[in-house]
Chain A
Amino acid sequence: MPQDMPPSGGYAPVQYKRHIPARGFRPWTYLAGVGAIVTYGMYKYFHGARELRELSREKMWARLHLAPVMQAEEDRDQVRRYLADKERAKELLGSEGKVYNSDRFIRPTFAYTPSNVTR
Protein backbone atom coordinates (compact mmCIF):
# COMPACT_ATOMS: atom_id res chain seq x y z
CA MET A 1 0.00 0.00 0.00
CA PRO A 2 1.49 3.32 -1.03
CA GLN A 3 2.17 5.69 1.91
CA ASP A 4 0.98 9.28 2.08
CA MET A 5 3.89 11.39 1.07
CA PRO A 6 4.33 15.16 0.66
CA PRO A 7 3.33 16.35 -2.76
CA SER A 8 6.12 16.51 -5.18
CA GLY A 9 7.95 19.77 -4.81
CA GLY A 10 6.97 20.04 -1.15
CA TYR A 11 4.03 21.73 0.59
CA ALA A 12 3.10 25.29 -0.21
CA PRO A 13 4.17 27.73 2.49
CA VAL A 14 1.56 28.25 5.23
CA GLN A 15 0.59 31.93 5.65
CA TYR A 16 0.76 32.53 9.36
CA LYS A 17 1.72 36.25 9.28
CA ARG A 18 -1.10 38.78 9.22
CA HIS A 19 -0.51 41.73 7.00
CA ILE A 20 -2.79 44.23 8.73
CA PRO A 21 -1.62 47.83 8.42
CA ALA A 22 -0.35 49.19 11.83
CA ARG A 23 -2.69 51.87 13.26
CA GLY A 24 -1.52 55.15 14.78
CA PHE A 25 1.97 56.36 15.47
CA ARG A 26 4.93 54.41 16.54
CA PRO A 27 4.88 53.44 20.18
CA TRP A 28 7.75 55.63 21.28
CA THR A 29 5.80 58.67 20.04
CA TYR A 30 3.08 57.98 22.58
CA LEU A 31 5.61 57.55 25.34
CA ALA A 32 7.29 60.79 24.37
CA GLY A 33 3.95 62.61 24.17
CA VAL A 34 2.78 61.47 27.58
CA GLY A 35 6.22 62.32 28.93
CA ALA A 36 5.98 65.83 27.51
CA ILE A 37 2.52 66.41 28.99
CA VAL A 38 3.62 65.18 32.39
CA THR A 39 6.77 67.26 32.27
CA TYR A 40 4.78 70.38 31.46
CA GLY A 41 2.37 69.65 34.29
CA MET A 42 5.16 69.06 36.76
CA TYR A 43 6.82 72.30 35.65
CA LYS A 44 3.62 74.26 36.29
CA TYR A 45 3.07 72.44 39.57
CA PHE A 46 6.59 73.22 40.73
CA HIS A 47 6.17 76.92 40.13
CA GLY A 48 2.72 76.91 41.67
CA ALA A 49 3.92 75.09 44.75
CA ARG A 50 6.84 77.46 45.07
CA GLU A 51 4.56 80.47 44.95
CA LEU A 52 2.15 78.84 47.38
CA ARG A 53 4.99 78.32 49.82
CA GLU A 54 5.94 81.97 49.65
CA LEU A 55 2.32 83.03 50.08
CA SER A 56 1.94 80.91 53.17
CA ARG A 57 5.20 82.33 54.50
CA GLU A 58 3.79 85.80 53.96
CA LYS A 59 0.61 84.95 55.82
CA MET A 60 2.47 83.27 58.65
CA TRP A 61 4.70 86.27 59.20
CA ALA A 62 1.74 88.63 59.12
CA ARG A 63 0.23 86.62 61.94
CA LEU A 64 3.52 86.41 63.79
CA HIS A 65 3.74 90.19 63.74
CA LEU A 66 0.22 90.43 65.12
CA ALA A 67 0.46 87.70 67.73
CA PRO A 68 2.03 89.87 70.49
CA VAL A 69 -0.61 92.56 70.02
CA MET A 70 -3.43 90.07 70.34
CA GLN A 71 -1.76 88.29 73.22
CA ALA A 72 -1.16 91.53 75.13
CA GLU A 73 -4.80 92.49 74.81
CA GLU A 74 -6.02 89.08 75.91
CA ASP A 75 -3.62 88.99 78.85
CA ARG A 76 -4.78 92.38 80.03
CA ASP A 77 -8.36 91.20 79.92
CA GLN A 78 -7.50 88.02 81.80
CA VAL A 79 -5.63 89.94 84.48
CA ARG A 80 -8.49 92.37 84.88
CA ARG A 81 -10.91 89.49 85.45
CA TYR A 82 -8.43 87.74 87.74
CA LEU A 83 -7.97 90.82 89.91
CA ALA A 84 -11.72 91.40 89.97
CA ASP A 85 -12.23 87.80 91.07
CA LYS A 86 -9.64 88.18 93.79
CA GLU A 87 -11.21 91.38 95.01
CA ARG A 88 -14.63 89.77 95.04
CA ALA A 89 -13.36 86.74 96.94
CA LYS A 90 -11.74 89.01 99.49
CA GLU A 91 -14.98 90.90 99.92
CA LEU A 92 -17.04 87.75 100.32
CA LEU A 93 -14.68 85.60 102.36
CA GLY A 94 -12.79 88.26 104.19
CA SER A 95 -9.44 86.70 103.42
CA GLU A 96 -7.27 86.19 100.41
CA GLY A 97 -6.96 82.57 99.49
CA LYS A 98 -5.43 80.76 96.61
CA VAL A 99 -7.74 78.76 94.43
CA TYR A 100 -5.04 76.67 92.81
CA ASN A 101 -1.95 75.27 94.45
CA SER A 102 0.30 76.82 91.87
CA ASP A 103 2.16 80.05 91.28
CA ARG A 104 1.35 80.04 87.61
CA PHE A 105 -1.43 82.11 86.15
CA ILE A 106 -4.34 79.77 85.49
CA ARG A 107 -7.27 80.74 83.40
CA PRO A 108 -10.29 80.08 85.57
CA THR A 109 -12.55 77.23 84.57
CA PHE A 110 -15.57 78.85 86.16
CA ALA A 111 -16.42 82.46 85.67
CA TYR A 112 -18.28 84.89 87.83
CA THR A 113 -21.81 85.58 86.68
CA PRO A 114 -22.96 89.06 87.58
CA SER A 115 -26.16 89.04 89.62
CA ASN A 116 -27.62 91.88 87.62
CA VAL A 117 -27.35 91.60 83.88
CA THR A 118 -24.81 93.98 82.41
CA ARG A 119 -24.96 95.22 78.90
Chain B
Amino acid sequence: MAQRDPQFNQHVLVDTTPMPDHIPKVEEIGATSAPLMSAAYFIGDRCKAYNDDFMKCKDEANGRGEIECLKEGRKVTRCAASVIKDINTHCLQQFTAHWECLENNNHYLFECRRAEMALNNCIFDKLGLKKTIPDSPPNQVPVHLRPRQKFAQFPGPQW
Protein backbone atom coordinates (compact mmCIF):
# COMPACT_ATOMS: atom_id res chain seq x y z
CA MET B 1 0.00 0.00 0.00
CA ALA B 2 2.97 2.26 -0.31
CA GLN B 3 1.69 3.56 -3.58
CA ARG B 4 1.61 7.25 -4.16
CA ASP B 5 -1.92 8.18 -4.99
CA PRO B 6 -1.95 10.28 -8.12
CA GLN B 7 -5.55 11.43 -7.82
CA PHE B 8 -6.24 15.07 -7.36
CA ASN B 9 -9.09 15.07 -4.95
CA GLN B 10 -8.85 18.65 -3.78
CA HIS B 11 -11.95 20.06 -5.45
CA VAL B 12 -9.93 21.40 -8.33
CA LEU B 13 -7.53 19.60 -10.61
CA VAL B 14 -9.74 16.63 -11.39
CA ASP B 15 -9.19 14.89 -14.66
CA THR B 16 -12.74 15.06 -15.93
CA THR B 17 -12.24 13.25 -19.21
CA PRO B 18 -15.23 10.93 -19.52
CA MET B 19 -14.96 7.21 -20.18
CA PRO B 20 -14.72 6.47 -23.92
CA ASP B 21 -17.99 5.55 -25.59
CA HIS B 22 -17.07 1.96 -26.38
CA ILE B 23 -17.09 1.10 -22.67
CA PRO B 24 -20.65 0.81 -21.39
CA LYS B 25 -21.67 3.33 -18.81
CA VAL B 26 -22.68 2.39 -15.32
CA GLU B 27 -23.95 4.58 -12.58
CA GLU B 28 -21.69 4.50 -9.55
CA ILE B 29 -23.14 3.27 -6.33
CA GLY B 30 -22.97 6.71 -4.75
CA ALA B 31 -23.66 5.68 -1.16
CA THR B 32 -21.50 6.78 1.74
CA SER B 33 -19.86 4.48 4.23
CA ALA B 34 -22.64 4.13 6.79
CA PRO B 35 -25.40 3.04 4.37
CA LEU B 36 -22.92 0.67 2.73
CA MET B 37 -21.95 -0.78 6.09
CA SER B 38 -25.61 -1.19 6.95
CA ALA B 39 -26.40 -2.91 3.66
CA ALA B 40 -23.14 -4.90 3.43
CA TYR B 41 -24.55 -8.28 4.41
CA PHE B 42 -27.49 -7.95 2.04
CA ILE B 43 -25.19 -6.95 -0.79
CA GLY B 44 -23.11 -9.96 0.11
CA ASP B 45 -26.14 -12.21 0.17
CA ARG B 46 -27.56 -11.23 -3.20
CA CYS B 47 -24.37 -10.40 -5.08
CA LYS B 48 -22.05 -13.14 -3.85
CA ALA B 49 -21.79 -14.75 -7.29
CA TYR B 50 -20.95 -11.45 -9.00
CA ASN B 51 -18.51 -10.46 -6.29
CA ASP B 52 -16.70 -13.78 -6.41
CA ASP B 53 -16.65 -13.65 -10.18
CA PHE B 54 -15.10 -10.20 -10.16
CA MET B 55 -12.48 -11.07 -7.58
CA LYS B 56 -11.62 -14.30 -9.39
CA CYS B 57 -11.30 -12.41 -12.66
CA LYS B 58 -8.94 -9.92 -11.03
CA ASP B 59 -6.97 -12.70 -9.45
CA GLU B 60 -6.53 -14.52 -12.73
CA ALA B 61 -5.96 -11.48 -14.93
CA ASN B 62 -2.25 -11.46 -14.13
CA GLY B 63 -2.06 -7.83 -13.09
CA ARG B 64 -4.27 -6.54 -15.88
CA GLY B 65 -7.50 -6.95 -13.93
CA GLU B 66 -8.27 -3.24 -13.90
CA ILE B 67 -8.75 -3.22 -17.65
CA GLU B 68 -9.92 -6.75 -18.31
CA CYS B 69 -12.47 -7.07 -15.53
CA LEU B 70 -14.48 -3.96 -16.30
CA LYS B 71 -17.44 -6.08 -17.37
CA GLU B 72 -17.50 -8.06 -14.12
CA GLY B 73 -16.98 -4.82 -12.22
CA ARG B 74 -20.05 -3.29 -13.84
CA LYS B 75 -22.09 -6.31 -12.82
CA VAL B 76 -20.88 -5.97 -9.24
CA THR B 77 -21.82 -2.30 -9.12
CA ARG B 78 -25.22 -2.86 -10.74
CA CYS B 79 -26.02 -5.67 -8.34
CA ALA B 80 -25.02 -3.65 -5.27
CA ALA B 81 -26.98 -0.67 -6.57
CA SER B 82 -30.03 -2.89 -7.05
CA VAL B 83 -29.82 -4.02 -3.44
CA ILE B 84 -29.59 -0.43 -2.20
CA LYS B 85 -32.48 0.54 -4.45
CA ASP B 86 -34.66 -2.30 -3.20
CA ILE B 87 -33.89 -1.49 0.41
CA ASN B 88 -34.74 2.14 -0.25
CA THR B 89 -38.07 1.29 -1.80
CA HIS B 90 -39.17 -1.29 0.75
CA CYS B 91 -37.44 -0.59 4.07
CA LEU B 92 -36.42 3.05 3.85
CA GLN B 93 -37.44 3.95 7.38
CA GLN B 94 -35.61 1.10 9.11
CA PHE B 95 -32.62 1.51 6.80
CA THR B 96 -32.30 5.21 7.54
CA ALA B 97 -32.66 4.56 11.26
CA HIS B 98 -29.91 1.95 11.18
CA TRP B 99 -27.36 3.79 9.13
CA GLU B 100 -27.87 7.00 11.04
CA CYS B 101 -27.31 5.04 14.21
CA LEU B 102 -24.09 3.65 12.73
CA GLU B 103 -23.06 7.13 11.69
CA ASN B 104 -23.50 8.36 15.24
CA ASN B 105 -21.76 5.40 16.84
CA ASN B 106 -18.44 5.14 15.06
CA HIS B 107 -19.85 2.42 12.77
CA TYR B 108 -20.04 0.04 15.72
CA LEU B 109 -22.62 -2.52 14.70
CA PHE B 110 -23.09 -3.62 18.31
CA GLU B 111 -24.42 -0.21 19.31
CA CYS B 112 -27.30 -0.43 16.84
CA ARG B 113 -28.77 -3.87 17.38
CA ARG B 114 -32.31 -2.66 17.87
CA ALA B 115 -32.35 -0.76 14.57
CA GLU B 116 -30.53 -3.63 12.91
CA MET B 117 -33.11 -6.16 14.09
CA ALA B 118 -35.91 -4.06 12.62
CA LEU B 119 -34.01 -3.66 9.36
CA ASN B 120 -33.10 -7.34 9.10
CA ASN B 121 -36.69 -8.45 9.73
CA CYS B 122 -38.08 -5.97 7.20
CA ILE B 123 -35.58 -6.98 4.54
CA PHE B 124 -36.12 -10.66 5.15
CA ASP B 125 -39.90 -10.20 4.83
CA LYS B 126 -39.82 -7.95 1.78
CA LEU B 127 -36.71 -8.98 -0.12
CA GLY B 128 -35.84 -12.40 1.26
CA LEU B 129 -32.24 -11.44 1.98
CA LYS B 130 -30.78 -12.76 5.19
CA LYS B 131 -27.80 -11.66 7.22
CA THR B 132 -25.55 -14.59 8.01
CA ILE B 133 -22.00 -14.30 9.25
CA PRO B 134 -19.93 -16.98 7.57
CA ASP B 135 -17.68 -19.22 9.65
CA SER B 136 -19.24 -18.22 12.95
CA PRO B 137 -19.16 -21.02 15.53
CA PRO B 138 -22.22 -23.26 15.21
CA ASN B 139 -22.72 -23.78 18.93
CA GLN B 140 -23.23 -20.11 19.70
CA VAL B 141 -25.99 -17.65 18.94
CA PRO B 142 -24.71 -15.44 16.09
CA VAL B 143 -23.52 -12.18 17.54
CA HIS B 144 -26.07 -10.05 15.71
CA LEU B 145 -28.94 -12.06 17.21
CA ARG B 146 -27.84 -11.83 20.83
CA PRO B 147 -30.13 -9.57 22.81
CA ARG B 148 -27.33 -8.51 25.16
CA GLN B 149 -24.30 -6.82 23.72
CA LYS B 150 -21.43 -6.83 26.19
CA PHE B 151 -19.56 -3.98 24.56
CA ALA B 152 -22.44 -1.63 23.92
CA GLN B 153 -22.85 1.47 26.00
CA PHE B 154 -26.02 -0.08 27.33
CA PRO B 155 -25.11 -3.75 27.73
CA GLY B 156 -28.57 -4.91 28.77
CA PRO B 157 -31.31 -6.27 26.52
CA GLN B 158 -31.28 -4.28 23.32
CA TRP B 159 -34.86 -4.89 22.28
Contact = CB atoms under 8 A, between A and B. Distances in A.
Identify whether the interface residues of A are mostly helix, strand, loop, or mixed. helix
Given A105-B64, A118-B16, A55 B36 contact: no
Contact of A73 (B6, B8, B29, B65): B29
Identify whether the interface residues of B are mostly helix, strand, loop, or mixed. loop
Interface residues of A, number: 49
B3 to A, nearest CB: 6
B13 A84 contact: no
A63 B74 contact: no
Interface in B17-62: 17-20, 23, 26, 28-29, 36-37, 40-41, 43-44, 47, 50-51, 54-55, 58, 62
Interface of B: 3-4, 6-8, 11-20, 23, 26, 28-29, 36-37, 40-41, 43-44, 47, 50-51, 54-55, 58, 62-67, 69-70, 72-74, 76-77, 80, 109-110, 133-137, 140, 142-144, 146, 149-151
